[in-house]
Structure 1
Amino acid sequence: MDEVEVVVAHSERTTLRVGDVFLKVDADQARLDVEVEAMALAPVPTPEVLWHKPHVLAIAALPGTTLGRLGGPSTGSPTAWAAAGAAIRKLHDAPLPPRTGGAGRSIVALRAELDAECESLVTNGVLPADLVARNRQVAEAALRPWTPAFTHGDLQISHIFVDADVVTGIIDWSEAGQGDALYDLATFTLGHEDHLDDLVAGYGTDVDLDIIHAWWSVRSLLIVRWLVEHGFDPFAPGCEVDVLKSRM
């Protein structure tokens, strides 16, 4: 008999797995609407949508496995990482979706959010002032004009599935929309810097590594406090705080 597996759960959303079906329950219906729309538009493999009702989305499981997880070793080969890079490039080259996604916030808004978060991290003693200051300096390189692309917006390493070095699908599209392509590349390689060259080889174009490093700092600075408040551990080995320390 199938059991109910809690994949992720916090106050904003919960994902459950029952056999080969994933149920995503979200307090914000708009996020589920974005996800369904993005999967329909994306020119890459995505999960089959089984049904979609208010606050719940049911999707089919994908074959294969992820390339690893944040805070753990990568289980993917260089060829698999290159395949992921090629799939991401195909997405970025696609016609723009109608919405602005999580990777498309304005520079002014992002700078203000980042500065406020850095101040909070130091004032509340979450992170040392020198660690925050150094990463805020690194982060500035990401705060520049970019050409909008079709971005996933939350392309964590656990969101691309691969089987026999072939991408079988990309999941969790709730932040998808127009945004900075390099944000996707940075999110996917967060905590796995040793595979950045493999990913870029598959992506197939020149990538400014300083901007990738900058987005690592931006994402980590912005997420540490949220993770702590929602029961996750950004201080675990290989996770966000270690990413910030690597920039020192």
Structure 2
Amino acid sequence: MTGVEEVEVVVAHSRRATLRVGDVFLKVDGDPAHADVEVRAMAMAPIPTPAILWREPPVLAIAAVPGKALGLLGEPSSASPSAWAAAGAAIRTLHDAPLPQWPGPSLDDVAAELDIECAWLLANAVLPAEVIRRNRKIAEAALRPWEPVFIHGDLQITHVFVDGDEVTGVIDWSEAAPGDAMFDLATLTLGHEERLDDLLAGYGADANRDVIRAWWSLRSLVASRWLIEHGFDPDAPGCEFDVLRSRMRER
């Protein structure tokens, strides 16, 4: 056959899959609530987002955004300091926008999830106990009341696209909700801690660096079991386990 686009599997696990066909991404999710949030969040977000082409549950079709991802977890980011600053400015614009009208994670929910995941990590000995306990202590700084803002909720480095020094699109909005601003900043710089200054040059100097560092530990602790159980490797170079180990060198 001719004229048929190659189908690329971007990500696939038991809960959802994303396929790319040419310049179209097809997101297949068994829970329609995720697509509901994504569609509503992109309509509200005051920053560049992908165009929605059509929706036929359980499939959501969106257009590719121009440019390339800010970087990859586990690899140095080749994006310029100005591109990181532009990402920071875009995130600030999002955080200053009106709140979504659906609930986000509560402090009690985050604390309970952290306890559960740390207990699993210790019981299964996937990391030395001292690494888990040290990061659990660091993570406590994130467990404080926060003033909720409009957060992306899953602002991984591969979800922010830039062309030169301009943000061209932010993708994957299914976790968007009211939440802690420092969580978004920590998620984007997870494994790329050396780019935090560049990011904050655009975001603003009022960011709490201690809380961002706490979220690096907390997110890595909480995400590790899910990654393992869904076929991903948190022990790959530069990924979550390396983030947790790196905290052991801090005093």
TM-score (norm 2): 0.96
* Superposed displacement of residue 142, structure 1: 0.1
Output the aligned Cα RMSD.
0.8
Structure 2, gaps ≥5 residues long: none
SS in structure 1 at match of 2:60: strand
User: Are 1:95 and 2:106 an aligned pair?
Assistant: no
Identity %: 69
TM-superposed deviation, 1:100: 2.4
- Structure 1 runs, 4 residues or longer, greater than 6 Å off: none
Aligned counterpart, 1:5: 8
Identify the residue that residue 75 of structure 2 maps to in structure 1: 72
2:147 counterpart residue number: 147
Q: How does 1:107-126 map to 2 (within 5 A)?
A: 107-126=107-126
For structure 1, the 5+ residue unaligned runs are: none
CA–CA separation in structure 1 for the residues paired with 2:164 and 2:121: 42
The answer for the alignment partner of 2:85 in structure 1 is 82
* Counterpart residue type for residue 191 of structure 2: G
CA contact (8 A) 1:126 1:225 kept: no
SS of 1:227's equivalent in the other structure is: helix
> What does residue 63 of structure 2 align with?
60
TM-score, length basis structure 1: 0.97
Q: Secondary structure at the match of 1:233?
A: coil
Residue 219 in structure 1 maps to residue 219 in structure 2: yes
C-alpha separation in 2, matches of 1:100 and 1:167: 27
CA distance, structure 1, for counterparts of residue 107 and residue 100 of structure 2: 20
1:47 partnered with 2:47: no
2:178 is the counterpart of 1:178:
yes
Question: What secondary structure, in the 3-state scheme, does the structure 1 residue paired with 2:127 have?
Answer: coil
- Residue 106 of structure 1 corresponds to 106
Alpha-carbon shift at residue 182 of structure 1 (Å) = 0.5
Residue 196 of structure 1: how far off its partner (Å): 0.2
- Following TM superposition, by how much is the alpha carbon of 1:93 offset from its aligned partner in structure 2, in angstroms? 0.2
3-state SS of the aligned residue for 1:174?
Answer: coil
